Amino acid sequence: QVQLVESGGGSVQSGGSLRLSCAASGFPYSISTYYMGWFRQAPGNEREGVAAIDTAGESTYADSVKGRFTISRDNAKNTVYLQINNLEPDDTAMYFCAAGRVNWQLLPRYNYWGQGTQVTVSS
């Protein structure tokens, strides 16, 4: 059974940092062959792509997070990370990771999704 399990969310003050993790399991092919993305969704808002990483390790970021978010992957550990620095109240959202065999980058069209981890930033 394919699973993506996010962790690392929490409540932090503005300016703080968090490292989100996404552990993958049960995929039919090596996780190294999957494109991975991080998305977020705040109440009343659409799901927004914030970072994506391709199979070669190249990353893409939304303009709103460039310079503060860093996506990385450790294929040996079947895990994708999202380092978030200098958090702002507008970063408050549920964060989801996603996986797929097509390079959707920041489009929410991936095949597989996790359940999310909540990030709350107070000013």
pLDDT, tens digit (0-9, with 9 covering 90-100), for 5-19? 999 999 999 999 999
Average predicted confidence (pLDDT) for the chain: 97
**pLDDT at position 19:** 98
Look at the alpha carbons of 107, 108, 113, 118 in this order and tell me if their dihedral is positive or negative: positive
**pLDDT at position 35:** 98
Query: Which stretches of 26-91 are assigned E, i.e. beta strand?
Result: 35-41, 48-53, 59-61, 69-74, 79-84
Question: Strand 35-41 relative to strand 18-25: parallel, antiparallel, unpaired?
Answer: unpaired
Give every CB contact of residue 9 below 8 A, 6+ residues apart in sequence: 18, 20, 95, 117, 118, 119
pLDDT, tens digit (0-9, with 9 covering 90-100), for 76-113? 999 999 999 999 999 999 999 999 999 999 999 999 99
